[in-house]
Structure 1
Amino acid sequence: MSSDLSEHFLSDVSFDITKIDAADETFDLIICYHILEHIEDDYKAMQELFRVLKTTGTCIIQTPFKEGVIYEDATITSPEDRKRHFDQSDHVRIYAVKGLQTRLEHAGFCIEVREFALEYENESGFSPKEKVLICKKPI
């Protein structure tokens, strides 16, 4: 099943990631690709991802990243200012890998950060050096 809140893409349903209309432990696999940087209450979204992921499931998360620490400022609200600060008019933050990892761990996930640096590892077409967070529930 696929979901898209903005309805710009083909999807089966439309979920609000901060209140997913699904029972606990519903999904075996969740791919959250370039979503969290758009969500004002990202911790609530992370808690929801944790809630709906099966104990044996996997959640794959990718966002734009920067070096250093997460950059966010809730007072930046205009599309023009968001574009200047966060590189896109509808982003509310730019994550740093370690910062996102820490937030996901706080939501309950165990995290493995993967980097697809070598061509033979990169059958999925990720950009070189792109980092992906593999999230699982503790066993």
Structure 2
Amino acid sequence: MYNNLKKIIHSVLSKKNIFKIEPYLRRGWSVFYLGSKHQCTICKTKFKNWISLPNQDNVCPRCGSLSRDRRLWQLIEQNYLKPHSNVLDFSPSRSLFRIWKKQHTYYTATDLSGDFISDNQYDITAIPEDENTFDLIICYHVLEHVIEDRKAMNELYRILKPTGTLLVQTPFKEGDIYEDYSITTKEERLKHFEQEDHVRIYSVEGLKNRLTKSGFKVEIKPFKKDTFYGLTDNEIIFVLKKN
């Protein structure tokens, strides 16, 4: 029912209007899921069940967070949620955007596509910010969309403070990075890269090597499944610092 209702709402309302009314719709819908078996790390609400997506991911009924959003916020709360930190977030989830805006005055969200809530529309390959500006940069599921990804990595390095942290995540495959820029149609990109607007699939080592060449010190952090918080098994997050 949830997935069908979502399709109907998206067919009759603009993205701008959906962004506005979504919190109120979810507040009412989440009443049917309340319990004590699970808890969202973002909105802190407890539920008897998650909402299950066709890809088997678990969605929070209250704030709409995906499992990767909940893991990211858990990591941020435990390690990087500090007063007066200057934060830049690329294409953030709506649940994370809203919680950042409630408690952090130095948070900036940017999205070039227009598919996400944001303050700015920065081109990640030419970011209009000064060197050494940000204490924390979040770049989740962005680089696989960018043809000039090495240029983007260089820009991220440039604007990160010497003491700052960059958090990166993308989909991964075994073996080498797979990319072919002659593949340009949505149909072919879906077939080859598993999503219509992806231009590659990284391997863990391949992404590490590219980030290292941009100057980053790379730590690869694997995480295990957590049923209570709805977190998936074998999730990988790159934690990057300047050398």
Instruction: State the TM-score bracket (shorter-chain normalisation).
Output: over 0.9
Deviates more, 1:110-119 or 1:63-72: 110-119
Matching residue's letter, 1:70: I
Deviates more, 1:107-116 or 1:2-11: 2-11
Following superposition, the deviation at residue 127 of structure 1 comes to 2.5
More helix by proportion, 1 or 2? Answer: 2
Percent sequence identity over aligned pairs: 52
Distance 1:25 1:134 in 2: 17
Distance 1:100 1:82 in 2: 19
Distance 1:116 1:126 in 2: 9
Contact 2:111 2:122 in 1 (8 A): yes
Give the structure 2 partner of residue 133 of structure 1.
238
| TM-score between both structures, scaled by the size of structure 2 | 0.54
**Pair 1:96 & 2:203 matched:** yes
Give the structure 2 partner of residue 106 of structure 1.
213
Distance 2:237 2:136 in 1: 14
Distance 2:143 2:133 in 1: 20
Higher relative contact order (CA 8 A, sep 6+): 1
Distance 1:126 1:64 in 2: 16
Give the structure 1 partner of residue 123 of structure 2.
16
Distance 1:130 1:78 in 2: 29
Change in 2 beyond 3 A, CA 1:118/1:82 = closer
Unaligned runs of 5+ in 2: 1-107
Following superposition, the deviation at residue 74 of structure 1 comes to 1.0
Following superposition, the deviation at residue 118 of structure 1 comes to 4.8
Contact 2:225 2:232 in 1 (8 A): no
Following superposition, the deviation at residue 4 of structure 1 comes to 0.9
Misfit runs of 4+, over 3 Å: none
Distance 2:239 2:111 in 1: 21
Give the structure 1 partner of residue 183 of structure 2.
76
Deviation by residue 1:41-84 (Cα, 9 ceiling, x = unmatched): 00000000000000000000000001111000111111111100
